[in-house]
Structure 1
Amino acid sequence: MQTFDPAVIEFTKQLQDWHASRVANLQLILDHPESTLKLGDAEIKGDSDIAKGIRAGVRIAMDQLGKLPFSVTPCTDEEEED
């Protein structure tokens, strides 16, 4: 999609940044399976069955999040004239 609307461009940048940070956080959990997970006040040992289940859920979430299905390209004034 191409747009001149700065609000749309800013919104999509914020959404892309949000998505990238969430994917990075989830990937961190998968990249360090030995690490203890902290959920609120609870600490879950990385080698526990609960942690293994959490990592399975994270893999499902990563599969569902995938890559954002859109992109936005800011238009220039020259493109508007075409």
Structure 2
Amino acid sequence: MDDSSPSSTRRAPVVACALVPRFSLLVALGGRREAMGDPVALAPEAGGPQTVGESSGAAEAFGVRAGMGLSEALARCPALGLVP
């Protein structure tokens, strides 16, 4: 077999990974990055556990964290906006 044939120049597949902080929240906000400056968090899913999802940095400054119960999150940050 000739070393210059196309089959001899195969390359290994390339895998890439990108970490986008608060990606789910950004998607739910419709890409409105300016809303990330407000205290917002992903609302609990209907019929699911009453816990908040990802939260903005402004909400985290009040102590709101993903997985926190909704009532506790609202007690820590009464102005918390819930994003469906």
TM-score normalized by the length of structure 2: 0.23
Higher Cα radius of gyration: 2
Of Structure 1 and Structure 2, the greater helix share is in 1
TM-score normalized by the length of structure 1: 0.23
Of Structure 1 and Structure 2, the greater strand share is in 1
Larger relative contact order (CA 8 Å, sep ≥ 6): 1
